[in-house]
Structure 1
Amino acid sequence: MKKKIMLGIIALSGLSMMTSCNHSSVSNDVLVIGMECNYQPFNWTTSKNTEDTLPIDKTNEFADGYDIAIAKYLSQDLKKEVVIKRLEWGSLIPSLNNDEINMILAGMTDTHERRESIDFTDPYLTSDLAFLIKTSDVDESLGTKEKPMSYDELLNLFDGKSLVCQSNVVGDDFIETYFVHNKQNKAIRHSPAQATYPLAANDVLGGISFAMPAELPVVEAMTNLNKNELRVLYCDYKGFLSSEDQNGLSVSIGVKKGNSELKEELNASLAKLSAEERSSMMAKAATRSSESAL
């Protein structure tokens, strides 16, 4: 999931419930959400006004993505107004602790280091690791959902080839940690990271790179770029990812330390949303991302 930096502007949602955010502190009566609006497929900016988007304050642009879908769901379920602030990644936690926002909904992973300064809800998305590959490059019997590839099999398959991912996400780190610096001395290369998943997927489609690691809903959505030529390669990632890196495949909502009231409300609302519904929401967001990015 996401871990570094992007852009910043203040944005206002329009769920049929609207509010301003001119004050310097916020209460739990309003969901004041910090995100980047520049990290596909979790959140990004678009010029299209659709049922999946929210308007960005004082611009003619709109925000879309999985985080926006979750924000809409929480607003409707909790019957609370929503304000979205678009902030740089590095400003999210300081803004939360300074009471400029009361939630971080930005594809953020719950880590021990971050828990020292903020609290987290239960995950609002937990996924599996998979790879996007060209159908013609790998036998259809390999890397299936029923028989995922082991780490050794992946290393043998990727030997002499290059892997690519979107920049500033854990999948890009996984390439370096588990494949480039593998202990079997396989010659696996790391292609320059792309700005978005769709652009990385296009590298795979064009034969520039052999495979792209990402969360399963993202990989499934990227196959929509060309269903005849791209497919999912499943892997037994629990056999080689560390527990910390497995945790990196989950994202949670950040709240200010001690704000147990909001944390409990959010957890109760998220508990009503099934894993299937969450995966569907992510797949739809990733599909819209692929359609808008190329």
Structure 2
Amino acid sequence: MKLKNTAALALSAVLALGLTACGSAASPAVDPSVPDGDGDPTTLTVAMECAYAPYNWTQSDDANGAIQIRDSGDYAYGYDVIMAKKIGEALGQNVQIVKLDWDSLIPAVTSGDVDCVIAGQSITAERAAQVDFSDPYYYASIVTLVKKDSKYADAKSVADLDGATATSQLGTIWYDNCLPQIPNGNILAAQETAPAMLVALNSGACDVVVTDRPTAQAALVAYPDFTLLDFGGGENDFQVSQEDINIGISMKKGNTALCDAINKVLSGMTADDYNDLMDEAIAAQPLSE
């Protein structure tokens, strides 16, 4: 995820998933009361970066049930697309994926261009002041990536990263909240995307990247020279709040009908369901950026 922020939600919520490819089968019959945000109740229009594996990424074909991106010949897939398809199926809607950069996601919801954002967003108070959030559809713990031959490869705590050169993705709690906790850290400029931060680590531009566990697990497949450091979530770890690790679906303020409908889908899922679907996405992700 990007771990990005809002009110803490109990670690018992569930996830959702959504459904049919853009431009594939004929639109299903839709009840006019179906919750909507963008003026088209036949379609669940979902914004994401399509560049944040394993949550979402861009690929050239519809393998694994990927959905064609609006105004593009490319397709989107990943955990967020799986979730979007499940939600769309439950609501009797087709799913359309809109590819946007991170900073354009919330404006797209508030302007009514899309129904919702499913993009690994943390449910932070700052974000919740602009949009409404569903219950969490994933809980993402924070971990650290280093190269196997790094002098930090045996680090057991944040304190052991003393003096490390570090970076992470722009606009995330990894960059804004976690990196400043590294003692004497040399904090580089934030990277525009998750792939860019991984390239920075791989190239030797930095010693350390801080991210969430799914992103790190996906990175280990693409970059076998990386190793994952998990400091256990206690006093030796990065100090974050529940709102930093609860990942939700955002929609326009006041769209309670859509929020309630999504939460109903999520309530039928368990933590094991989330993890199984994330494992599915990690296995399907492209092995190169």
TM-score (norm 1): 0.73
Candidates 165, 168, 188, aligned match of 1:162: 165
Instruction: Specify the alignment match of 1:13 in structure 2.
Output: 22
Task: Give 3-state SS (helix, strand or coil) of 1:122's partner.
Answer: coil
CA distance in 2, matches of 1:284, 1:83: 21
- How far apart, in 1, do the equivalents of 2:102 and 2:150 lie? 37
- 1:154 maps to a residue whose letter is V
Q: Out of 206-215 and 126-135, give the one that drifted further.
A: 206-215
Residues 62-71 or 31-40, more deviating? 31-40
Equivalent position to 1:74, from 87, 106, 117 = 87
Structure 1 counterpart of 2:59: 46
What secondary structure is seen at the aligned counterpart in 2 of 1:273?
A: coil
Shift of the 238–26 alpha-carbon distance from structure 1 to 2, 3 Å rule, reads: farther
Give the number of aligned pairs. 264
Query: Partner letter of residue 13 of structure 1?
Result: C
1:129 to 130, 139, 142: 142
Query: Are 1:222 and 1:286, in contact at CA under 8 Å, matched by a contact in 2?
Result: no
Structure 1: how far apart are the matches of 2:254 and 2:37?
19
Instruction: Write out aligned runs for 1:1-294 (5 A).
Output: 1=2, 13-14=22-23, 16=25, 18=27, 25-26=38-39, 30-87=43-100, 89-137=102-150, 149=156, 153-155=157-159, 157-179=160-182, 186-205=183-202, 207-227=204-224, 229-239=225-235, 240-243=238-241, 246-286=242-282, 289=285, 291-293=287-289
Q: CA 1:45–1:159 in 2, change beyond 3 Å: closer, same or farther?
A: same
Shift of 1:158: 1.5
Residue identity matched to 1:57: R
Instruction: Report if the CA contact (8 A) 1:52-1:68 is conserved.
Output: no
Worse-superposed segment, 123-132 or 72-81: 72-81
* Distance change in 2, residues 1:48/1:68 (3 Å): same
Q: Unpaired segments of 5 or more residues in structure 2?
A: 5-20, 29-35
Give the C-alpha shift of residue 128 in structure 1.
0.7
Q: What's the CA shift for 1:81?
A: 1.9
SS, match of residue 83 in structure 1: strand
Aligned with 1:232: secondary structure? strand
Runs of 4 or more, structure 1, over 6 Å off, are: none
Kept after mapping to 2: 8 A contact 1:221/1:290? no
2: CA distance between counterparts of 1:154 and 1:203?
20
User: Once structures 1 and 2 are overlaid, which stretch shifts more, 46-55 or 82-91?
Assistant: 82-91
Q: In 2, distance between residues paired with 1:233 and 1:42?
A: 20
Q: What 5-or-longer segments of structure 1 have no aligned partner?
A: 4-11, 144-148, 180-185
Q: Secondary structure at the match of 1:114?
A: helix
Of all paired residues, the percent bearing the same amino acid is 25
Q: Who is 2:13 aligned against?
A: none
Q: What is the alpha-carbon distance in structure 2 between the residues aligned to residue 72 and residue 108 of structure 1?
A: 18
The one-character-per-residue Cα deviations of 1:163-183 (angstroms, maximum 9, x if unpaired) are 23234432222454212xxxx
What is the Cα deviation at residue 138 of structure 1?
A: 6.6
AA paired with 1:264?
Answer: D
Query: Secondary structure of 1:272's partner?
Result: coil
